[in-house]
Amino acid sequence: MRVFKSLIAIAIVISLVVLAVKFKHSSLYGTVSQNLSNFVEFLKVKFNIIKYNISEDISPSRRTSPFSFIKKQEQLKLFLPDIFENFTFQDWKKFWSIIYGRKEVGEGLIKQKVYRSKEEIEDYLIYNYPIFSRFQKQHWDYFWSIVLGNG
């Protein structure tokens, strides 16, 4: 009986090895391997998105102190009084959220939160405040130096 069990165990092991070799050489192996590789890549991307979102929540790359906002608001009022002189608290809040807020991009449950590009912000300002459409490069440079804190 003991020999019989050993023979059955050996036969099972040999069968598994033969099946594994046949599977390795089949087209199904390539499909399964590619699907697994795609899934692992998908998980890596989602993990990196989560990691980036958390790091930006903890230490944002665009940040400023509340006192800095007041200083910037005064500089903007001097730079463009027609627009910024009559801004209310809510107007400023929306303005700063466009510049310092992040938007979600991507599809699915886990979306990456990214800052708007300067071009996106410029397009928004041109659309909402026509005076910005007359800006030349030097005007935009000065505007960005105020808003992003370099001026």
Q: Are residues 90 and 151 in the same domain?
A: yes
Q: Residue 17's pLDDT is what?
A: 81
Phi-psi region of 63 (alpha: psi -120 to 50; beta: other; left: phi over 0): beta
| Residue 87 near residue 95 (C-beta atoms within 8 A) | yes
Concatenated DSSP letters for 101-138?
-EEEESSSSS-EEEEPPHHHHHHHHHHH-GGGGG--HH
What's the pLDDT at 151? 47
pLDDT mean over 40-60: 82
Q: What is the pLDDT of residue 49?
A: 81
Same domain, 81 and 115: yes
Its domain, for residue 138, covers 64-151
Instruction: Assess whether 10 and 45 both reside in one domain.
Output: yes
* Number of domains, the chain: 2
**Same-domain status, 95 and 141:** yes
User: Which residue, 115, 110, 119, 109, is CA-closest to 140?
Assistant: 119
What is the pTM for the complete model shown? 0.61
* 14 and 71 fall within a common domain: no
